[in-house]
Amino acid sequence: MSFATNSSQQISLFDSTSNLTQREVKMLEKSWAKFFSENIFPAIDEEPFRVLYSDQPSRRNTPINVIIGALIIKEMFQLTDEEMVETLPFDVRYKYALHTTSFEEQPLNDRTFGRFRARCSAYEEQTGIDLIHQCIVKLSSQISKMMSLNTGMRRMDSLMIAANIKKMSRLELLYTCVANLAKCMERSNDDCFPEPLKHYIEKDDHNRVLYHNRSEDNDSKLSRVLKDAALIISACGSRYDDSSEYQLLIRVIKEQTDKDNDGNLILKNKQSGMDSKILQNPADPDATFRSKAGKENRGYIANVVETSDGNNSVISDYQFEQNIYSDSQFLKDYLASCPKSDTPITMVTDGGYCGYENVKSAKEKNITLITTDLKGADVADIYADFIFSEDGKEILMCPAGNKPKSNVYNKNDGKCKASFPINTCKNCPHFSECNPQMHVRVATLKLAKKAAYHAEQQRFYKTEEFKKHARFRNGVETIPASLRKRHNADKMPVRGLIRNRHFFGFKVAALNTIKLIKYMVSLDKCVQLA
């Protein structure tokens, strides 16, 4: 299939809008479809998706802007793929929004979306480049310009995304992995399939082993499943090394078991600690476990960056990873990817993104990072008045304005050891606050620039300016609520990190599109009132 852009859509004699009455045309012009057609659809860039198709002349692809536009509309109205395909031919608003009113036949079918997402997923697996993310971030930038947003104020927040999987016990997890491999051997008509494991391919064996047989305790069931696992692995040899069923069984055995002195498999002790990366369910090998705020989560975590001027806002960037990803790392990734800004930017986040290194990295990009909380214990307020060198390896001046006689920097703990004349410190009004270590001729003080920054932040938190920024950050809390309640982010109908990331991206695009439409409607009302 070759690539072709969809740069022009001619109105034909048989255009579906030509048969509308004047009243129906007026209603169409007032609907969401007009704003989508005039603002969102033209802003979709097709060119980056050229790499997904052949360079050789062949049958042309379905227009990319139609596919992406339809996927955004699908998320706006919470439709399934099938519902979107079935609605498009019969709803003139959808055709008007996607510029397909003149098409003799609508270009979408029941396989279009699945094939497009599969191409994008395969390309990302090979290259690490997320074309959908690039498209949506570029579209978000265009929406910001349409809404005339002041991009100098941004806020960031993360949200847990539940995977579309069942919570499994250790017994069910091990049983399912063994059963999946057994069914794989059965489908291959493998003569080496062990006879004692034939029951795994029976329809009701899962319920019979896990739930119906109450007379047998859980430990004996686990012991039997582990013996079956060792037996089927031995029977496979090297013939199934490339199959996902074999690899998942090997993975769960490695993560959940050890070997006793006789070489038999035994379960690891949970109390000794289990890695959060261990397999949660073979249906979604990418899902990980995390406990946060007393709640267990199996799945993923998303991070959103919102640009806001107080009245309007747009999600300008997002990231989607396994839920073991930290907020601090999200911020590091964002700072590494964004270019240095020509104008000052203020980024307001919660305490999970705090850290002196993050502040330092943000400053290099002309971004002022403000966090609403700090990690670690409070430090002495006087530390905020110490003046350090730019690299933090030398104390230049104490709060009383005295320069140290010497400085020694310890790279292991990042602290500077500054020496002052002993009489200077004894007679200093800040002596009790600094609490230096007294020697025969000098007084010494060990202090890191991180501690001085911590003290500065403690002092800043008491100001009215900080309270204003804290109120500004609270606005970003509406995004996780909207993505969960309106766009069902916790109920995505796919599994796997990349597929979930693509679905999440279109939910972000739908949320931004709705904000733009509301903004455009408000402008129209203002014009009518004028």
Please tell me whether residues 145 and 189 are part of one structural domain: no
Please tell me whether residues 177 and 245 are part of one structural domain: yes
Residue 218 belongs to some domain of the structure: yes
Going residue by residue through the chain (530 aa), what tens digit of pLDDT does each one get?
788 888 656 555 567 788 889 999 899 989 999 999 999 999 999 999 999 998 887 788 899 999 999 999 999 999 999 999 999 999 999 999 999 998 888 999 989 999 999 999 999 999 999 999 999 999 999 999 999 998 889 999 999 999 999 999 999 999 999 999 999 999 999 899 999 999 999 988 988 888 876 666 888 899 999 999 999 999 998 899 999 999 999 999 999 998 888 888 888 887 666 788 999 999 999 999 998 878 889 999 999 999 998 889 999 999 999 999 999 999 999 999 999 999 999 999 998 898 888 999 999 999 999 999 888 888 999 999 999 998 889 999 999 999 999 999 998 888 999 999 999 898 899 998 998 999 989 999 999 999 999 999 999 999 999 999 999 999 999 999 999 999 999 999 999 999 999 999 999 999 999 999 999 998 876 655 54
Query: Phi and psi dihedrals of 339, rounded to 5?
Result: -75, 165
Two structure tokens written together for 247: 């690899």
Please tell me whether residues 23 and 125 are part of one structural domain: yes
Name which of 424, 394, 165 is nearest 279 in CA terms.
165
DSSP state of 288: E
Please tell me whether residues 268 and 197 are part of one structural domain: yes
Residue 310 belongs to some domain of the structure: yes
- Give the domain-ending residue among 421, 436, 458: 458
Please tell me whether residues 241 and 97 are part of one structural domain: no
List the end-to-end C-alpha distance of the chain, in Å, as a whole number: 52
* Model pLDDT, residue 18: 81
Please tell me whether residues 258 and 307 are part of one structural domain: no
Q: Which amino acid is at 510?
A: A
Please tell me whether residues 184 and 262 are part of one structural domain: yes
Two structure tokens written together for 111: 């396989």
Rounded to whole angstroms, how far apart are CA atoms 159 and 480?
A: 6
Please tell me whether residues 84 and 33 are part of one structural domain: yes
Who's near 197: CB < 8 A, 6+ residues apart?
178, 182, 228, 231, 232
Please state whether beta strands 367-371 and 345-349 pair in parallel, antiparallel, or not at all (unpaired): parallel
Please tell me whether residues 24 and 140 are part of one structural domain: no
Rounded to whole angstroms, how far apart are CA atoms 306 and 389?
A: 34
- Give the domain-ending residue among 129, 151, 180: 129
Two structure tokens written together for 91: 């709803």
260 exposure class (CB count in 10 Å sphere: 0-12, 13-18, 19+): exposed
Please tell me whether residues 234 and 318 are part of one structural domain: no
Which structural domain range is residue 441 located in? 381-458
* Model pLDDT, residue 11: 55
The number of folded domains in the chain is 4
Residue 265 contacts residue 229 (beta carbons within 8 Å): yes
Please tell me whether residues 5 and 113 are part of one structural domain: yes
Residue 387 contacts residue 410 (beta carbons within 8 Å): no
Sign of the torsion formed by the C-alpha atoms of 293, 295, 297 and 302: negative
Residue 35 belongs to some domain of the structure: yes
- Give the domain-ending residue among 245, 272, 299: 272
Please tell me whether residues 190 and 267 are part of one structural domain: yes
Helices (H) and strands (E) in the chain, counts: 20, 14
Residue 493 belongs to some domain of the structure: yes
